[in-house]
Amino acid sequence: MKQMYSVERNVQILIGLLKANGIKKIVASPGSTNIPFVLSCQNDGSFEMYSCVDERSAAYMAVGMAAESGEPVVLTCTGATASRNYMSGLTDAYYRRLPIIAVTSTRPLSTIGNHVAQVIDRTTLPNDIAKLSVFAPIGNNANDEWDCQLKINRALAALKKDGGGPVHINLETNSSMDFSVQELKGIHPINYYSFEDQVPEIKADNVAIYIGSHTPFSKEETDTIDSFCEAYNGAVYCDLTSNYQGKYRVQTSLLGGQDQYQSVACSVDLMIYIGEVTGAYEMQCLMPKAKVMWRVSEDGEMRDPSMSLSKLFHMSEIAFFAKYVNLAKAKKGTEFSDSCKKDYNHLYSSIPKDDIPFSNIWIAMNMAPYMPDNSAVHFAILNSLRSWNWFEMPSSVTGFCNVGGFGIDGCISAMIGASLCNPNKLYFAVTGDLAFFYDMNAVGNRHIGRNVRILLVDNGKGMEFRNYTHPASKFPNDKVDAYVSAGGHYGHQSHSLVKHIAEDLGYEYLSASSKEEFLQHKDKFLSPEISEKPIIFEVFTDQDDENLALHIIRNLDKSADKIAINMAKKVITAVGGKDSLDKIKKIIRNR
C-alpha cells in the first residue's frame, strides 16, 4: 500500500489546513515524536521541506525565510528540550511580526510531571515568543476533532491578525508509525479577513443575520443592516436581547422552538453571526441548519457555537455591512424576510390564548406587548428569558440578560445598576424565585430609586429542570426537587416572606395566584409613570401549569416536513444506530 498520511487525525487536520492556507515552507529538525507530521508532509509532496539539526538555527532559518519571502514558515521538532531552542528565533520573529508556525510535537498532557522520558511542560509560554499558543489534541471523538480544527484555524489566523507574528501549535501524538490514510478528508478551514482584504462575493439566494446579545444599535447601524438585507434578500434573527429594531427583524425563538413545525427560517443559505452569547436556545438551534456560517466581530476572535464556521471578518459590523452594500450588484428584494415574518405571524396567531395556563409564558404573553415605551427589561437566565422570548416587546424597549457568565446570579443587581444611570426611566427585572433569592442582597440597596420594578415568578423551585424539554424531567419530582431543582427553599412559596421583605425595605408589594388577580395588578405594575415607591410583583405559579404552557407554545402547528423528519429519525435510529442518525441530520441540514 502506498504510504501517505499518519492515522493521527490532528496531523491530517494540520496538513490539510496548511494546504488550504497556501503554506508550503517547512524547516524540520530530527526526532521521534514529530515523525507522524514530518513523514506525512514528505509523502504529500506539495511542501518545500528543509532540514536543520539545531533547533536554534532552524528558528533563525525560518526568520530569514519569512522575512525574505513574506510567506509563513513552519518549524517542526520533537519533544524534550528541542523546542526550548526555538525561543531566541521566535522572540526575534515576535518583535519583527514575522509569520512563523512552531509545531512542537508532544506526548499526551497526562504524561507531564510523571517522570516520563523526554516530556517537558510547554503549556505556558513567555509572553513575547508567540502571539497565540494552542494545544491540538489527537482527536478521539467528534468534539476533539472540532476542537483541534478550531484551534489550528485560530493559530493560522493569528499569523496575520493585528499585524501578524509567530504562533505555536503543541501537537499531541502517540508517535504512530501507521501512514495508511490515503486522502485528507473532513478538513474545515476558517478563512480570516480584515477590513483591508478583498472579501468574498455573496452568492447566496437568502441570508440570515443572527444577532446574539447586543448593545442597542444606532440609527446608522440599523439603516446599514437594513440596506444589506435589501441587497441580499436578508432577514435578521433576533431575541429580546439582540436590540436590533430595523425593518427586517424576526423574533426567531417562536420559529426555531417548534417541536412539530419546520419554518422557512430553518432553510438558510448563508448565516452571518454578530453580537455575543445568546440565551435564546430555541433561536440558537437554527444555527447548525445554515448551509454556510460567517462571523463578524471587531475583536477578530473565532467564535464557533454552531461548529460550522467558515469565515471570520475582523472588522466592525457597520464596516462589514457597508462594504457589502457597496459591492452589491443589484437588490435581491425582501422575500426571505417576508416569508419568515409570515411564518411568525402564522404561529403567533395560532397561540390558543385562552387555553394557556397561568404561568411565566402566560404572564409574558400578557405583559411583553404592553411594556412602557423606552423602558428596559433585564431577564434572569433560562426559564425567564425563554418564556418572554416567544413574544415581542415594543420597539423602543431594550432587553438585557447576564448571558456573558450565564449564571443564576446578578439579574436584579445588573438592573439596579442600570437604573441608577437614569432615574427618569423605568427598569424592570423578570426573575424566578431561585434567582431572586440568590441576588436578594441587591434588593436592600439604599440607592434604589422609584424607577425599579421586579416581577418575581415564584414556582418554588428551579423550573428549568422540571420543563419537559430538560433531561432531568424524566426523573420523579421528589428526586429532582431534593437537590437538582432545589425545591422547598425560601419559604416554599410563602405568601408572606417576600411581602414582609419588600414592605420593610420600602417597596410596594403586589401579588397574584391566578389570572384574575394578575390582571387586577397588571396596569399598576406597567404604569408608564414613575411610581411613589419601587415595586415587587410576586406571582405564584405551578410546575404542571408551567410545563403545559411550554408544551402548547412549542406545538402550535405541524408541518409535513417536520413530521417526516421525526419519523425518519426514529426509524433510522432503530435500524442503523447513531451513525445513521448523524447522516440524516446532515441531509436535513442541507436540504
Q: For 416-469, how does the pLDDT look when each residue is reduced to its tens digit (9 = 90+)? A: 999 999 999 999 999 999 999 999 999 999 999 999 999 999 999 999 999 999
pLDDT confidence of residue 108: 73
Q: Which of 66, 60, 52, 108 is nearest to 87 (CA)?
A: 60
Mean pLDDT of 228-252: 97
pLDDT of residue 558: 83
CB 264 within 8 A of CB 233: no
Q: From CA 412, how far away is CA 438, in angstroms rounded?
A: 10
Taking the whole predicted model, whether its pTM rises above 0.75 is answered as: yes
Q: Confidence class of residue 79 from pLDDT cuts 50, 70 and 90?
A: confident
pLDDT value for 110:
64
For position 469, what pLDDT does the model report? 93
What percentage of the chain exceeds 70 in pLDDT? Answer: 94
Is a pLDDT exceeding 80 seen at residue 566? no
- At residue 2, does pLDDT exceed 50? yes
Q: Decide if pLDDT at 589 tops 70.
A: no
Q: What is the dihedral of CA 121, 125, 130, 136, to 10 degrees?
A: 40
The pLDDT mean for the chain works out to: 92
- The H or E element containing residue 222 is helix 219-232
Calpha distance 237→494 (Å, rounded): 40
pLDDT at residue 580 tops 70: no
Instruction: Supply the DSSP string of 94-145, one letter for each residue.
Output: HHHT--EEEEEEE--GGGTTTT-TT----SS--TTS-SEEEEE---SSHHHH
What are the Cα distances from residue 428, in Å, to 143, 168, 456, 508? 40, 47, 11, 14
Provide the 3-class DSSP secondary structure of residue 21. coil
Could you give the dihedral angle defined by the CA atoms of residues 475, 477, 483 and 484, in that order, rounded to the nearest 10 degrees? Answer: 50
All three cell numbers of 129? 515568543
Q: What is the CA radius of gyration of the chain?
A: 28
Q: 111: pLDDT confidence band, cut at 50, 70 and 90?
A: confident
pLDDT at 115: 65
477-512 pLDDT tens trace = 889 999 999 999 999 999 999 999 999 999 999 999
Q: Are strands 234-238 and 207-211 parallel, antiparallel or unpaired?
A: parallel
| pLDDT reported for residue 30 | 96
The predicted model gives 257-277 an average pLDDT of: 96
Whether the Cβ atoms of residue 409 and residue 431 lie closer than 8 Å to each other? no
pLDDT score of 266: 94
Residue 584 has pLDDT above 60, yes or no: no
pLDDT in tens, 368-396: 999 999 999 999 999 999 999 999 999 99
Instruction: Return the sign of the alpha-carbon dihedral for residues 153, 156, 162, 167.
Output: positive
The Cα 288–Cα 190 span in angstroms is 16
Q: Where are the beta strands (DSSP E) in 123-221?
A: 132-136, 167-172, 191-194, 207-211
Confidence class for position 113, pLDDT limits 50, 70, 90:
confident
**Region 317-334: what's the mean pLDDT?**
95
At 186-211, the pLDDT tens digits run 999 999 999 999 999 999 999 999 99
DSSP 155: H
Q: How confident is the model at residue 570 (pLDDT cuts 50, 70, 90)?
A: low
- Nearest alpha-carbon partner for 165 in 72, 103, 251: 72
pLDDT tens readout for residues 7-57: 999 999 999 999 999 999 999 999 999 999 999 999 999 999 999 999 999
H-assigned helices in 268-367:
281-284, 317-327, 335-349, 360-367
Q: How far is CA 328 from the centre of its chain?
A: 29
Quick one: average pLDDT of 104-132?
A: 81
Q: Is the pLDDT of residue 235 over 70?
A: yes
